[in-house]
Amino acid sequence: MNDRTPNTETPILEGEDLRKTYRLGRVKVPVLHGASVSIKQGEWVAILGASGSGKSTLLHLLAGLDKPDIDSGDIRYRGSKVELQNGGETNHYRNRTIGFVFQFYHLLPELDVLENGMLANLVPRGRKSGLLILVMALIGAVIGAWLGLLAAGDWGLLPLEERTSVRSIVLSGACAVIGSGTMIVLIQMVQAVILRTRMRSGEAADVARSTLGDFGLDQRYRHRPRELSGGERQRVAIARALGSDPDLLLADEPTGNLDEQTGTEILELLKKKHEQGLTIVMVTHDPKVASYANRVVRLKNGRVVADSVQNSVVGEMPSPDEGHETVG
């Protein structure tokens, strides 16, 4: 379990002077203009703004799902810069540090509820899987090259008059490629068998069952996403995001596609997790949804225009000037 003891001093996640510009053909479309946000451990922060204000873009940058502009500031996790240029480090950050909830669920239709809930724990940790494939490919290449040299020489697959060094090298190289490819296929077949076994039993399945059960989905494990309601799909999406026990949960309009009653149920689930110590960053355009958070960061035209502590009651619309701090 990750340490979720509230820390009111050091931010767990920071984005400083973040800028993002998209390109549509030859046209540059700036979305973020130096937005900054700081999240402390144990907080529930709502990023509130109208459509097109850049709030989802800001969340995607914080989650490492997109890269800021070259002249942008940094994203820091526990004081250390998140190196989004490093593929391995970025993948670890996305999969282990951050749990992300998409507005449109993004469940895999070919997998059932339990398998979708297990996805985060099925991704290999670290670089061991890739290193294993590389080592096996090299072993296959060496064996193939050796067999190729034997075939070109002692085994006599090449006629005596054609046994030149060049042809022997070509045959050896071809066998090395075949050997490497064969080893890769074999190791992936073994990994597929192990993966299917983990999907039926083991720690990953136990974690997924526990989380899905907390969300009232214990009778839906073997149902496919198309057989679920919108609220059930969002519950699965949240359970999947929490499957790897992340430090932070980032949610992009988690109630945007739901009716009011179902949306309230989802927010109550998030509230329960927050009370257990989970740090949440949530994007929304709805002030009533934002009222669940401890802090509201208001975004307008790609800039943070206000950052305030919540004093309102859940379900009430927070006042624009409510709180302790306003950013001009």
Nearest in space to 305 (alpha carbons), one of 321, 293, 318: 321
- Measured distance CA(194)–CA(199) in Å, rounded: 9
**Residue ranges of E strands in the chain:** 7-24, 27-41, 44-48, 75-77, 80-81, 98-101, 248-252, 279-284, 295-300, 303-309
Averaged pLDDT of the chain = 83
| Domain 7-110+226-309 CATH assignment equals 3.40.50.10800 | no
Tens of pLDDT, residues 92-107: 788 888 999 998 889 9
Query: Is pLDDT at 326 greater than 50 in this prediction?
Result: no
pLDDT computed for residue 245 by the predictor: 85
Start-to-end Cα distance in the chain: 40
Looking at residue 317, the DSSP 8-state letter turns out to be P
Mean pLDDT for 44-51 is: 95
Give the predicted TM-score (pTM) of the model: 0.74
What interhelical angle do 113-122 and 165-200 show, nearest 10?
Answer: 130
Tens of pLDDT, residues 67-101: 999 999 999 999 999 887 666 677 778 888 899 99
List the strands of the sheet with 44-48, edge to edge: 98-101, 248-252, 279-284, 44-48, 295-300, 303-309
How remote is the C-alpha of 93 from its chain's centroid?
A: 8
- Measured distance CA(24)–CA(20) in Å, rounded: 13
Query: Is pLDDT at 325 greater than 80 in this prediction?
Result: no
Inter-residue contact 48 to 297 (CB < 8 Å): yes
Inter-residue contact 205 to 240 (CB < 8 Å): no
For the chain, the domains span 7-110+226-309, 113-223
